[in-house]
Structure 1
Amino acid sequence: MAQAAEACGCRLAATGSAPFTDRLPVPVTPTPRFRRMRRQAAVLADEQLIDGMHVHVGVPDRGAGVAVLDGLRPWLPVLTALSADSPLWRGRDTGFASWRTVVFDRWPVAGLPPHFADAADYDRRVRRLVEAGLIDDSGQVYWHARLSERYPTVEVRAMDVQLRVDEAVLLVGPVRALATRALEQPPSAEGDPPEFLRATAWHAARHGAAGRLHDPLTGRLRSAREVTDGLLTHLDAPLRATGDDRSTARLLERLHTEGNGAVRQRREVRRGGRSGLIGLITGEAVGIQSA
């Protein structure tokens, strides 16, 4: 892919947001659906210069998928924080580690998914949104995790696109392990109220993994390292079952040592300016580590 891009005079890049937006409005994919979305939300569509990482986890049925959604809810902000890779926007530092999360949460049905009683409850509530004309179709349900309408999966969408391929792999193991835990031990209660979870999601997008995170296991703010240590203990059995335990621990340690994408982007902007940042993003996308 990198070679094909070079042949066209371009460089391959992967990041959670476009740090420089020298040209607006951006082209819209010429299909009736996307043209309609552009008419409905003009500026928001123009500013959709963000990239999320989606992980699909296979589930036996939609009922099991709802159980997985419930188990994932308190951990989705942690995934956002670890994956944060969109600190820059229109040439300036936003102050947020994941500005993509803020931009994407402006759509009508977004943010953390609510609690659902069962699959029928999920389908009924999505159908009501569509039938009321508040959204065009179920594809406009932009929760951080949702049931896929195309595949027998839960689609986890809480994470920014990663600078490095192995960082994307790092996130897949815990997502799969969290889903396994939820299927084996479904949550016994609804959990924290929506306003509390929304605050944890905002906090994660703001601070990323460089500050303190809300720990779902203790209900308190703790250092990112303490939260991930607890996560590894919480997921020990399912991570071992898939062989992801050592690689997950190793990559998490590197994340704490070197910083995630948001930390490294900010570091490079201070050191090398715009050209340095472009070199970082395009170099790490093809496996060339910055000095």
Structure 2
Amino acid sequence: MNPSRKPPHSPGPGRPEGEHEVKGVAFRDVGEAEQEAPPPEEPLRDPPRITWQKLTFLPAVLAVVLLVTWLWFRNADLDSIAQNALANGNVWLRFRQHIELTAISTFFVLIIAIPLGILLTRPGLRKAAPVAMALANIGQATPAIGLLALLVIWMGIGMKAALFGMVIYAVLPVLSNTIAGLKGNDPTLLEAARGIGMSPMGVLRKVELPLAVPLILAGVRTALVLNVGTATLATFGGGGGLGDLITTGITNQRMAVLVLGSILTVALALLVDWLASLAELLLRPRGLEVKS
């Protein structure tokens, strides 16, 4: 036997340990590949929807602003007119009225605009969508104070006229975003849902509305902030709200009352926008999130 001749199962030069060649075909001993395989990576966890910065930054800023305002009022020299405007729980009453105006008007906006937007995207009523959008545009294009004055002439002084005007003024963003969200869905997804036997209501409830949720929530957020600002004009129709403090400070030239009404209005608008942004993050379907 020639000692220089290699056995048929010996590894060739430059081959890794455990690999052999037989008749020109390379193979590896059983168990080698499994032993050298890297350990499986841990599955990636979904990032939290709401970070602690998002949850705490704005409330902390608002708390500091309100604390500074309260300390300033404690040391301010208020005359009898300013004291009467702020006495007997009037500030809390106007603040509560402002929240009620915002909440009630937004509720009616939602129950009007979202179902109407759904109906206007159905095949039988799509032709009526431009007419409805034109009417909603007229409602928002009209100056809010002028719209409120017309409603007071028609409905009389009180909260009813203010609420009616706020609903007309804020219905456009929710209606337009609902229509845009439903129209922007991928037709192939809707066709696939119908192809697996889903009813039209099932397609709407399980496919169309979840896909349109981000746009609809953006419209609701816009309507909320609009209603907080428009509610200050309710005072001109006898609807109350923080606008009473602002107009009292302007007409009586009492800067302290004007500053308090303005700061509370701005703080409420920022707080409502922050709460709406949290709801927007929590209600957004997980499947629509882009992972980095």
TM bin, normalised by shorter chain, reads: under 0.3
Instruction: Say which structure is richer in helix.
Output: 2
TM-score (norm 2): 0.23
Q: Which is higher, the Rg of structure 1 or of structure 2?
A: 2
Higher relative contact order (CA 8 A, sep 6+): 1
